[in-house]
């Protein structure tokens, strides 16, 4: 049976304009960082992408090195594009990035024109599409001239390989410099993708959201659940099948201290009083700060359903915000 998307998929999802543009992104987007690689089950990935789209999530976020192995998440996207999503391509926002290690040699990394353009060409081949909707430089390059990196993004956009271009993991000062260079070249940097959550506040110290707003850029946030800490998974300790227990990715056992667990439990009580799960409240909090979209990961369909449920209550009282700040400041 061919996949037929839910006819009512756009009715309940919230869509936000991205910076100073006509591009709307769903408030909740799906990231394919984990659980969509070659080591994972294709059928489970298919179920999650289908359910996400049926719930109005039309933005799938990837990068050249997502997997594992590197590149395999894009290969999964390419397979499912043919199986399910080709008829809906014009409704989808598909993004990719380049900036981290991908292949051996002097052009395997960072932000040279050679690397960025070669990487995107390979990404398009893996995903079996003619263009991405958004292409990001994945991280600042300390050695390549910024004009070369931005010039590569301009070339990519001028060639129609990406409809929009952006940056990722740039701090406030780096963003200002990139925007200055881009404006001279006639390039509109539309988005900055970076990590932000109730527990991860580095961007607040730099007023990054304000910098993006002044530049007419949107903010799309990854790890809004702090690698799963801001869920009910760790309320009773560290489960054997958790990311922390497996020491996989960026979350380690040592990160989950007794004090951190106490904070998680207190935040969970605020969420319960709001009639939300902790993950729903955490996503709503990031959106309440002014983010365009939050990128969620998932290993099963039920998590996607729960995350979209965060949109049922995305407003906070002053007392709730103050209580959250008091807990995180301990």
pLDDT tens, position by position, 63-122? 999 999 999 999 999 999 999 999 999 999 999 999 999 999 999 999 999 999 999 999
Average pLDDT, the chain: 95
Domain-wise residue ranges, the chain: 15-228+279-312
Q: Confidence class of residue 243 from pLDDT cuts 50, 70 and 90?
A: low
- DSSP letter string, 80-116: HIIIIIGGGGGG-EEEEEE-S--SSSTTSSTT-HHHH
Buried/exposed 273-283: b ≥16 CB within 10 Å, e otherwise:
ebebbbbbbbb
Question: What is the per-residue pLDDT for 249?
Answer: 58
Q: Confidence class of residue 257 from pLDDT cuts 50, 70 and 90?
A: confident
Residue of 107, 134, 130 lying closest to 217 (CA atoms): 134
Question: What is the per-residue pLDDT for 247?
Answer: 58
Q: Confidence class of residue 242 from pLDDT cuts 50, 70 and 90?
A: low
CATH code: domain 15-228+279-312 is 3.20.20.100
For the residues 138-160, what does the mean pLDDT come to? 98
Task: Say which DSSP state 22 is in.
Answer: S
Residue 184 has pLDDT above 80, yes or no: yes
Residue 178 has pLDDT above 60, yes or no: yes
Q: Confidence class of residue 1 from pLDDT cuts 50, 70 and 90?
A: confident
Q: Confidence class of residue 161 from pLDDT cuts 50, 70 and 90?
A: very high
Q: For the CA atoms of 194, 196, 202, 207, what is the dihedral angle to 10 degrees?
A: 80
How far apart are alpha carbons 135 and 303 in whole angstroms? 27
Q: What pLDDT digit, counting tens, does each position of 27-52 carry?
A: 999 999 999 999 999 999 999 999 99
Question: What is the per-residue pLDDT for 255?
Answer: 73
Residue of 63, 43, 38, 52 lying closest to 9 (CA atoms): 52
Question: What is the per-residue pLDDT for 240?
Answer: 62
Q: Give the chain's end-to-end CA distance (angstroms, integer).
A: 54
Task: Provide the token pair at 171.
Answer: 């701090």
Residue 246 has pLDDT above 70, yes or no: no
For the residues 303-308, what does the mean pLDDT come to? 98
For the residues 206-234, what does the mean pLDDT come to? 96
* pTM for the full predicted model: 0.95
Question: What is the per-residue pLDDT for 233?
Answer: 86
Question: What is the per-residue pLDDT for 254?
Answer: 73
For the residues 282-294, what does the mean pLDDT come to? 98
């Amino acid at each position: 049976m061919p996949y037929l998307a839910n006819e009512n998929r756009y009715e309940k999802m919230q869509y936000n304009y991205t910076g100073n543009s006509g591009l709307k992104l769903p408030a909740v987007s799906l990231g394919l960082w984990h659980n969509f690689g070659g080591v994972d089950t294709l059928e489970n990935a298919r179920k999650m992408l289908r359910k996400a789209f049926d719930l109005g999530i039309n933005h799938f976020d990837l990068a050249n090195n997502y997997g594992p192995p590197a590149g395999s998440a894009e290969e999964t996207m390419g397979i499912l594009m043919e199986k399910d999503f080709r008829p809906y391509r014009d409704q989808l926002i598909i993004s990719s990035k380049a900036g981290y290690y991908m292949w051996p040699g002097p052009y395997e990394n960072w932000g040279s024109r050679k690397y960025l353009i070669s990487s995107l060409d390979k990404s398009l081949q893996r995903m079996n599409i003619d263009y991405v909707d958004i292409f990001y430089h994945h991280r600042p390059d300390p050695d390549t001239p910024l004009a070369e990196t931005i010039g590569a993004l301009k070339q990519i956009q001028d060639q129609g390989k990406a409809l929009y271009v952006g940056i990722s993991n740039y701090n406030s000062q780096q963003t200002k410099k990139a925007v200055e260079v881009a404006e001279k070249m006639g390039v509109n940097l539309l988005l900055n993708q970076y990590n932000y959550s109730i527990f991860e506040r580095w961007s607040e110290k730099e007023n990054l959201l304000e910098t993006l707003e002044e530049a007419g850029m949107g903010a799309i946030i990854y790890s809004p659940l702090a690698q799963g800490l801001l869920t009910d998974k760790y309320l009773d300790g560290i489960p054997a099948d958790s990311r922390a227990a497996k020491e996989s990715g960026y979350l380690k056992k040592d990160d989950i201290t007794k004090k951190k667990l106490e904070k998680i439990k207190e935040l969970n009580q605020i969420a319960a009083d709001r009639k939300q799960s902790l993950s729903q409240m955490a996503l709503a909090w990031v959106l309440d700060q002014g983010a365009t979209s939050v990128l969620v990961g998932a290993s099963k369909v039920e998590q996607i359903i729960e995350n979209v449920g965060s949109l049922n209550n995305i407003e906070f009282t002053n007392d709730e915000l103050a209580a959250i700040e008091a807990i995180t400041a301990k």
